[in-house]
């Protein structure tokens, strides 16, 4: 009974950690521009798929992983430079539509440049399950969770301590004032896409050995990450992580206790409930402005 | 002597020429023209006030000088060098800082973070003493240095906004409506601060709807109407001008 519960919890936490990384990517771009980047899921796909194909080309795994992250980051930067920046004056909604177009484009390119098959990536450190109180956990799950923890701490340090990180936050809070103190807000937007691509690709690579990967995994992972970001409060870092874990755990519990048929529906039920009852999310901005 | 429209009153120019010179500046919001060829100049060390009604283009002019409002024609020179093609960031580096209308805090960030961000373009090793300087000027900011800027009162936010701009060590400080929305005793305090900054040698361009207070402390003043400079004279001369009295001082 408890072992079963623990099993669902562990698999929920694993996939939830990946959702959390995707949600962080959404939040960073949202903060820099108020744009919801619907190509976020494609960053996840590109991370996993590039690693698989680079390994198939004979590269050792660590090299393939690093290269895949770099490829995804470069594509994220190009997306901002070529598609977002030229349309910057157009307003938020056209920019969001551009990101939807970009996601379809990236998926199409991945189909042509790679293929349409499902691929299994070998786990980083073997696949001997670890027993915990009657439940089992794959070593790769620890990688996913550890990866999220490390990325989360690095991000926290970047935004709380580094000068450019603070400038990115300042731009989120008040773009006009940020420009007036000399922050290059274009560079902030460019870096937000690079950083989001980095987070997405890491999530995709960590998760690929558990869930398989293919050219279209980005759709679902992107949408689940979006649900997590909304649940946590769009633009809130810790909220994104917590939101990801909640969505992942709820999904695993729903699949385990209700029916695995409904697994994908659960995230969307959560997002509807959040939008109906607490549209600012769990950690949504409480306004502290006094005028 | 009544000042004439657009008369180039002789500012106390240093031999090197004015610190800021604006020539024939035009700016548009879409198809609507907000500035119709504005000319003005500010000498180093001067306190110059710009007064005018709502919508006259005062804020647009300041934003154009800071590089956050596009310019359609004309030129802006800082110490003789054109900055009109430079990014907002480059202009801060070359010495133009602005205290924007409505204070524009980074609300959820701490008072100290707001101040340190004011020195964003500078070498961070040199800013510690400047931070102490700002705290000495506004001791209240030191007491609240960990507090979120958005939780300060309006007057405190105004002081923080001035402190943040000073952290850039500006050669030219642009102040947009610093007294807006403040209680009368705080307005006095803000104007006293501005006078103190002038005495310490900062060149100041002060935009105000509170024309009486602004012109009282200014060396010179400009009056703007619908995107044009219509009057310019010494601050006290403008205060005595019948048209200014009728239009802006309510006398």
3-state SS record for chain A:
CHHHHHHHHHHHHHHHHHHHHHHHHHHHHHHHHCCCCCCHHHHHHHHHHHHHHHHHCCCCHHHHHHHHHHHHHHHHHHHHHHHHHHHHHHCHHHHHHHHHHHHHHHHHHHHHHCCCCCECCCCCCCCCCEEECCEEECHHHHHHHHHHHHHHHHHHHHHHCCHHHHHHHHHHHCHHHHHHCCCCHHHHHHHHHHHHHHHHHHHHHHHHHHHCECCCHHHHHHHHHHHHHHHHCCCCHHHHHHHHHHHHHHHHHHHHHHCHHHHHHHHHHHHHHHHHHCCCCCCCCCCCCCC
Q: How far apart are CA A289 and CA B108, in angstroms?
A: 8
- Would an 8 Å CB–CB cutoff place B70 in contact with chain A? no
Residues of A in contact with B89 (CB under 8 A): 179, 182-184
Kindly determine whether residue A167 and residue B108, on different chains, have CB atoms separated by under 8 Å: no
Fold (topology level) of B20-104+171-249: Rossmann fold (3.40.50)
The answer to whether the CB atoms of B181 and A291 lie below 8 A apart is: yes
pLDDT tens for each residue of chain B, 251 residues long: 444 444 444 444 445 689 999 999 999 999 999 999 999 999 999 999 999 888 899 999 999 999 999 999 999 999 999 999 999 999 999 999 999 999 999 999 999 999 999 999 998 888 999 999 999 999 999 999 999 999 999 999 999 999 999 999 999 999 999 999 899 999 999 999 999 999 999 999 999 988 889 999 999 999 999 999 999 999 888 888 888 887 776 65
Q: What is the pLDDT along chain A (291 residues), one digit of tens a residue?
A: 788 999 999 999 999 999 999 999 999 999 988 899 999 999 999 999 999 999 999 999 999 999 999 999 999 999 999 999 999 888 899 999 999 999 999 999 999 999 889 998 999 998 889 988 888 999 999 999 999 999 999 999 999 999 999 999 999 999 999 999 999 999 999 999 999 999 999 999 999 999 889 999 999 999 999 999 999 999 898 999 999 999 999 999 999 999 888 888 999 999 999 989 988 889 876 544 444
Q: Is A57 on the interface with B (CB under 8 A)?
A: no
Closest of B76, B89, B73 to residue B26, by C-alpha: B73
A91 close contact with B: CB closer than 8 A? no
pLDDT recorded at residue A132: 87
Q: CB–CB of B27/B69 below 8 Å?
A: yes
Alpha-carbon gap, residue B133 to A25, rounded angstroms: 39
| Interfacial A residues in 143-172 facing B (CB < 8 Å) | 163, 166-167, 169-170
Q: Cβ–Cβ of B152/A290 closer than 8 Å?
A: yes
Q: What pLDDT shows up at residue A285? A: 65
Closest residue in B to A172 (Cα) is B106
Question: Do A163 and B87 lie within an 8 Å CB cutoff?
Answer: no
Taking the domains of chain B in order of start, what are their residue ranges?
20-104+171-249
Q: If you measure CA to CA, which chain B residue comes closest to A167?
A: B117
| Contact B107/A at CB under 8 A | yes
How many angstroms away from the CA of A171 is the closest CA of chain B?
Answer: 8
- For residue A172 the two structure tokens come to 């989120």
Q: How far is B134 from chain A (nearest CA, A)?
A: 16
ipTM of model: 0.90
| Predicted pLDDT of residue B15 | 54
* pLDDT at residue A73 in the model: 98
Q: Please indicate whether, in this complex, the C-beta atoms of B98 and A184 are within 8 angstroms of each other.
A: no
- Please indicate if any CB of chain B lies within 8 Å of the CB of A182: yes
Instruction: Please give the full DSSP string across B12-66, using - where no structure is assigned.
Output: ---TT--SEEEEEEEEEETTEEEEEEEEEEE-TT-EEEEEE-TTSSHHHHHHHHH
B134 part of contact set with chain A, CB < 8 Å? no
B164 and A CB contact within 8 Å: yes
The count of CB pairs under 8 A between chains A and B is: 81
Q: Cβ of A182 and B154 within 8 Å?
A: no
CB-nearest to A184 from B87, B118, B157 is B87
Nearest CA-CA distance, residue B156 and chain A, Å: 11
Give φ, ψ of B171 to 5 degrees: -80, -30
Say how far apart CA A213 and CA A221 lie, in whole Å. Answer: 11
- At B8 the pLDDT is 42
User: Which residues of chain A does B104 touch, with a Cβ-Cβ cutoff of 8 Å?
Assistant: 174, 176-177, 180
Nearest to B104 among A166, A177, A184 (CB): A177
B76 in Cβ contact with B25 (< 8 Å): yes
From chain A, pick out residues whose CB is under 8 angstroms from the CB of B116: 166
Is the minimum CB–CB distance between A290 and chain B shorter than 8 Å? yes
CB contact under 8 A, B100 and A179: no
């Amino acid at each position: 009974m408890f072992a079963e519960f623990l099993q669902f919890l562990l698999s929920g936490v694993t996939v939830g950690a990946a959702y959390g990384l995707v949600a962080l990517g959404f939040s960073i771009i949202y903060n820099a521009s108020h744009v919801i980047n619907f190509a976020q899921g494609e960053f996840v796909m590109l991370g996993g798929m590039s690693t698989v194909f680079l390994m198939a080309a004979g590269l050792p795994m660590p090299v393939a992983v690093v290269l895949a992250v770099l490829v995804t980051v470069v594509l994220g930067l190009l997306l901002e430079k070529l598609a977002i920046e030229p349309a910057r004056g157009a307003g938020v909604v056209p920019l969001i539509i551009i990101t939807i177009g970009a996601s379809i484009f990236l998926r199409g390119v991945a189909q042509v440049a790679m293929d349409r098959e499902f691929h299994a990536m070998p786990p980083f450190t073997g696949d001997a399950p670890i027993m915990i109180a009657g439940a089992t956990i794959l070593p790769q799950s620890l990688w996913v969770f550890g990866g999220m923890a490390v990325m989360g701490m690095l991000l926290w340090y970047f935004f709380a301590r580094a000068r450019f990180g603070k400038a990115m936050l300042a731009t989120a809070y008040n773009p006009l004032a940020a420009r007036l103190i000399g922050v290059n807000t274009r560079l902030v937007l460019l870096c937000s896409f690079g950083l989001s691509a980095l987070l997405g690709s890491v999530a995709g690579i960590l998760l690929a050995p558990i869930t398989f990967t293919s050219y279209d995994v980005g759709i679902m992972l992107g949408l689940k990450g979006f649900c997590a970001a909304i649940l946590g409060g769009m633009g809130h870092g810790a909220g994104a992580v917590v939101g990801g874990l909640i969505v992942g755990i709820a999904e695993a519990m729903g699949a385990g206790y209700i029916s695995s048929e409904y697994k994908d529906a659960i995230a969307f039920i959560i997002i509807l409930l959040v939008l109906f009852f607490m549209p600012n999310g769990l950690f949504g901005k409480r306004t502290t402005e006094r005028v | 002597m009544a000042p004439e429209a657009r008369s180039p009153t002789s500012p106390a120019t240093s031999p090197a020429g004015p610190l800021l010179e604006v020539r024939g500046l035009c700016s548009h919001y879409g198809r609507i023209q907000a500035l119709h060829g504005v000319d003005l100049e500010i000498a180093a060390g001067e306190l110059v006030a710009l007064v005018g009604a709502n919508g006259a283009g005062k804020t647009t002019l300041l934003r154009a000088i800071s590089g956050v409002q596009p310019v359609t024609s004309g030129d802006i020179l800082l110490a003789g060098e054109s900055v009109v093609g430079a990014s907002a960031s480059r202009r801060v580096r070359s010495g133009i800082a602005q205290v924007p209308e409505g204070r524009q805090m980074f609300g959820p960030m701490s008072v100290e973070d707001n101040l340190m961000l004011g020195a964003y373009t500078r070498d961070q090793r040199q800013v510690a003493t400047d931070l102490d300087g700002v705290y000495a000027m506004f001791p209240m900011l030191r007491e609240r240095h960990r507090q979120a800027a958005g939780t300060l009162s309006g007057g405190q936010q105004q002081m923080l906004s001035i402190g943040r701009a000073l952290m850039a060590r500006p050669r030219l400080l642009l102040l947009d409506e610093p007294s807006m929305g403040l209680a009368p005793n705080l307005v006095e305090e803000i104007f006293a601060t501005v006078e103190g900054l002038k005495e310490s040698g900062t060149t100041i361009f002060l935009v105000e709807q509170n024309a009486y207070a602004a012109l009282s402390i200014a060396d010179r003043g400009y009056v703007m109407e619908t995107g044009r400079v219509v009057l310019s004279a010494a601050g006290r001369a403008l205060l005595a001008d019948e048209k200014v009295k009728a239009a802006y001082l309510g006398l």
